[in-house]
Amino acid sequence: MMERTHRMRRRVAATVCAAALVLPLTACDALTPGSAAAVPGPRSVPSSTAVPDGDITLRLQFADAPLMVDALIAAFEKGHPNIKVEPQYKTFSDYVQNLKLTMTSDTAPDIAQYAVGMTDLAADGHILDLAPYREAYGWDKAIPPVSLDQLTAGQTSEATGGRALFGVPAGLSMTGIYYNKELAKKAGIDGPPNTVAEFEDQLAAAKEADLTPLGVGALDSGGLHLWAALLNQLMPTDDYWDWVNGTKGATIETPAAVSASRLVIDWGRKGYYNDSANGTAQVDSTAQFAKGDSVFLINGNWAAGQLATVMGDNVGFFPMPGEQASSPTVASGFSVSYAVSSRTEHPEAAGAFLDFLTTPEAGQIISDNGFMPPNPDAVKKPEGVLADIAEGHRRAVADDGITTFPDFAAPAMLDRLRSGVQKLIANRIDPSDYLDSLQDEWEEHHAE
């Protein structure tokens, strides 16, 4: 049964907040991105990079690539024996949902993964401007400018007068399709598809061979990666960027987005997804794929290290193909970057950790775990599935086809995306109603 959404929701939400005038102001304030009180402390790191003597513990909270983070921490601590880095892993959905509360609390971690909502936190002074360290450490020479330009939060640095900087990238990401080579061969599939239509044929072939065609972990973010991958192929990239960037008049309610959403429904109706896809977390769908439970898996390159370790040469990767074989390669991606809390007592030690991320040693660790290091020339050529990912990313970059994730359109967009795609998978919502709910969220945020 289709679920209907209503444009009245936006007006109802406004009414609720108006009625809440009798409640503490923080009730609605907590729902409004960027409305937290500005922090009175420092807004940028100090000019000195000298780490004080004595034992220091840094708390690092993150959501992606725990194996890579563990390896980076181990290598960093080896060279800095007086600094201990305590990792605090969160699932992606929990991390994003609680990011604002986490970073505005008195117990904020010293270092946190950069994610949607950080722009608001930067504007209010909850994370430090790293521009003084960019100059002191020479990060402009170690990291391509395009990777740093994503992390300025649109601000000018009060400390240096140049571009602000609120994060340092550890690796570049992209989403795509993993495939089990042995299972694909059983289904008569001899290689990556050239078009979306060919990929549909391969899913049908896998189904016909009594195999599970596509693993999806839609309980958290796996479903939206699938929807976004299809959207990237069908919606003009400029229109998508306008929507994600909040350009006035932009909309996701387009025929192309309807088509992408319709494909998610159709593939579910044809039985292409794993059982209980909506009740399966992305990390669990990855583990199931690694055991041979499906021919294909939708996920990002952050899973490559795990899959390469378990599956060896039996796993490959390709970006979602376009409508035509000649279509540009377009995929969602961003940098896995880290910001520093304005509440940290150890900005110099945090700066030393971020600087370590720019070294060739860290770049090799990043590459070995499936991410593209900011400077790929500093590491050895990848092999196997890691080489597939590097080649896919190279093509997407050459085609100017790396788009940011759709939840960056608004801080509260992730919930709409996740629940909406779950309903598409279950065939419980019409594409137009799903897109209407996304546009409602977009308009609520960008009307502020």
Buried b (16+ CB within 10 A) or exposed e, 62-82: bbbbbbbbebbbebbeeebee
pLDDT digits (tens, 9 = 90+) for 419-443: 999 999 999 999 999 999 999 999 9
Please report the pLDDT score of residue 40 as a whole number: 60
> What residues have CB less than 8 Å from 397, skipping those under 6 apart?
none
- Which amino acid type is present at position 377? D
Q: Using CB atoms within 10 Å of the CB of residue 255, give its burial: 0 to 12 exposed, 13 to 18 middle, 19+ buried.
A: exposed
Low-confidence stretches of the chain (pLDDT < 50) are 1-36
Please report the pLDDT score of residue 21 as a whole number: 28
Question: Which domains does the chain show, CATH number per domain?
Answer: 56-172+334-394 (3.40.190.10), 175-333+402-446 (3.40.190.10)
Distance CA 26, CA 72 (A): 39
CB-CB contact of 319 with 176 (8 Å): yes
Distance CA 408, CA 427 (A): 25
User: Over pLDDT 70: what percentage of the chain?
Assistant: 90
Partners of 57 in beta bridges: 84
Please report the pLDDT score of residue 118 as a whole number: 87
Please report the pLDDT score of residue 448 as a whole number: 59
Give the Cβ contact number of residue 367 at 10 Å. Answer: 24
Distances in whole angstroms, Cα of residue 253 to Cα of each of 9, 17, 240: 17, 27, 11
**Residue 441 in tokens:** 């969220």
pLDDT digits (tens, 9 = 90+) for 39-59: 667 789 998 899 989 999 999
Q: Using CB atoms within 10 Å of the CB of residue 84, give its burial: 0 to 12 exposed, 13 to 18 middle, 19+ buried.
A: middle
pLDDT digits (tens, 9 = 90+) for 184-236: 999 999 999 999 999 999 999 999 999 999 999 999 888 999 999 999 999 99
**DSSP of 335-378, one letter per residue?**
EEEEEEBTT-S-HHHHHHHHHHTTSHHHHHHHHHTTPBPSSGGG
**DSSP of 25-36, one letter per residue?**
THHHHTTSTT-S
Q: For the whole model, what pTM was predicted? A: 0.76
Please report the pLDDT score of residue 173 as a whole number: 85
